[in-house]
Structure 1
Amino acid sequence: MASYELQPFKRFDAIHLVAAIEEQGTTLNIGFWVRDPMQLIDWPEKKETSNREDFLWNATCFELFIGVKNEDLYREINLSPSESWQSYQFEEYRYPECIPPVTSEDIEVIEVKRTHYGLNALIDLQQFLNINKLQLNDIYIGLNAIFKTTQGMIYYAIQHSSPEPDFHNKRDWLHEF
């Protein structure tokens, strides 16, 4: 299991976030551990059932970006503490440019579970890997979070190399298998 202390885009010491990723065959076990002692985060209400939903990034949301080495295509997975989720496909940097983006049907989110520490998700990449003739060591991953707080929106990533928060920047996707 690899873990990363995610960094806020601008200095913000009130919330700390650690993300971990564990490979289980072609399934990824993703955990986000949040420390928010001042309770600044606005947490979405849990839904009765976990289902797909667009625009999750407008509220507190955890994100996973899956890039393919030496290729432009990638996937974005949004995971809400409401236990809703969505998966989007891109052919290259932010393309196609439609909002919401084109949904991806080749990633299966098995489970999204809000926990006492943050969020846990199980994501199956088998179909994505098969369709694109890939192995896990052909991909790399970015782990991110957006927190809607009493102080405004706060953006966390493994690193930020753009002048504005930009989770689509592949330079910041540092996890490899």
Structure 2
Amino acid sequence: MGTFSLNCHPATPAKSVRGLSVGWAQEDSALRLTYRVQGAQHLVLPKTQPAARTDGLWKTTCFEMFLGLSGTAYSEFNFSPSSQWAAYGFHDYRDSAGDWPMAQAPQVSVERQGEDVLAHVRLPSVVLEGARVAGLTAVIEEEGGVLSYWALAHGVKPDFHLRSCFTLSIASAEAP
């Protein structure tokens, strides 16, 4: 589908991160996302852990995706550089429907390329069923506890759950 640039919310400026982009590639059985953090010299990366569903990943560096479904329903996916992940469903804005069912866990890996960090995420393509729009986001923690919030689009305050921030149209949802 392409590569998309995320914008840092002006109320939460980054320390040294210069940019963040997300590559999106759909295959028959998988969705591949590649998050590239540019200027990641001071990026805080959580220690590698066994891949497992874990809550609270957004408290430090975490890559995320929101999928807008029909009506006001949506799903949220969190991908930690530690390899841990989370998936949640919502009936409406922050109205939890509990854990989003995942028959196959996301695969998350991280690599450094010079001053950049790349996070590779592989998800089963079934997560896109019923999705109409997506929001690509990231919470970035840098040394000293500096947090910045990155998204395709922002509201007045950093809030990735706002439907107006889900600006990426998913072509498969538009097919007849």
Please tell me the TM-score bracket, short chain as reference: 0.7 to 0.9
SS of the residue corresponding to residue 58 of structure 2 reads helix
Q: Which of the numbers 94, 97, 104 marks the counterpart of 2:100?
A: 104
Within-5 A mapping of 1:41-52? 41-47=43-49, 49-52=50-53
Q: Give yes or no for contact 1:111–1:121 (8 Å, CA) kept in 2.
A: yes
Which consecutive residues of structure 2, in runs of 5 or more, have no partner in the other structure?
Answer: 172-176
Report the number of matched residues.
162
- Following superposition, the deviation at residue 128 of structure 1 comes to 6.6
Within-5 A mapping of 1:127-142? 129=129, 134=130, 138-142=131-135
Matched, 1:170 2:163: yes
Q: Deviations over 1:51-72 (max 9, x none)?
A: 111000011100000112x411
Q: Give yes or no for contact 2:65–2:78 (8 Å, CA) kept in 1.
A: yes
TM (normalized to structure 1)? 0.82
Matched, 1:148 2:141: yes
- Following superposition, the deviation at residue 115 of structure 1 comes to 2.1
Once residues 44 and 62 of structure 1 are traced to their aligned partners in structure 2, the CA distance between those partners, rounded to angstroms, is: 12
Q: Deviations over 1:28-86 (max 9, x none)?
A: 1101011125x222110111x21111000011100000112x41111000000001001
Aligned to 2:76: 76
Once residues 164 and 56 of structure 1 are traced to their aligned partners in structure 2, the CA distance between those partners, rounded to angstroms, is: 20
Within-5 A mapping of 1:84-95? 84-95=84-95
The 3 A distance-change label for structure 1 pair 86 and 175 is: same
Aligned to 1:126: 126
Divergent runs of 4+, >6 A: none
Which consecutive residues of structure 1, in runs of 5 or more, have no partner in the other structure?
Answer: none
Q: CA RMSD in A?
A: 2.0
Aligned to 1:60: 61
Q: Deviations over 1:84-132 (max 9, x none)?
A: 0010110111003xxxx72111474341111223201111242672xxx
Once residues 42 and 84 of structure 1 are traced to their aligned partners in structure 2, the CA distance between those partners, rounded to angstroms, is: 15
Q: Give yes or no for contact 2:140–2:148 (8 Å, CA) kept in 1.
A: yes
Matched, 1:31 2:14: no
Q: Give yes or no for contact 1:81–1:118 (8 Å, CA) kept in 2.
A: no
- Identity across aligned pairs (percent)? 24
Once residues 166 and 20 of structure 2 are traced to their aligned partners in structure 1, the CA distance between those partners, rounded to angstroms, is: 16
SS of the residue corresponding to residue 102 of structure 1 reads strand
Once residues 21 and 128 of structure 1 are traced to their aligned partners in structure 2, the CA distance between those partners, rounded to angstroms, is: 12
Once residues 46 and 86 of structure 2 are traced to their aligned partners in structure 1, the CA distance between those partners, rounded to angstroms, is: 15
Q: Give yes or no for contact 2:7–2:20 (8 Å, CA) kept in 1.
A: yes
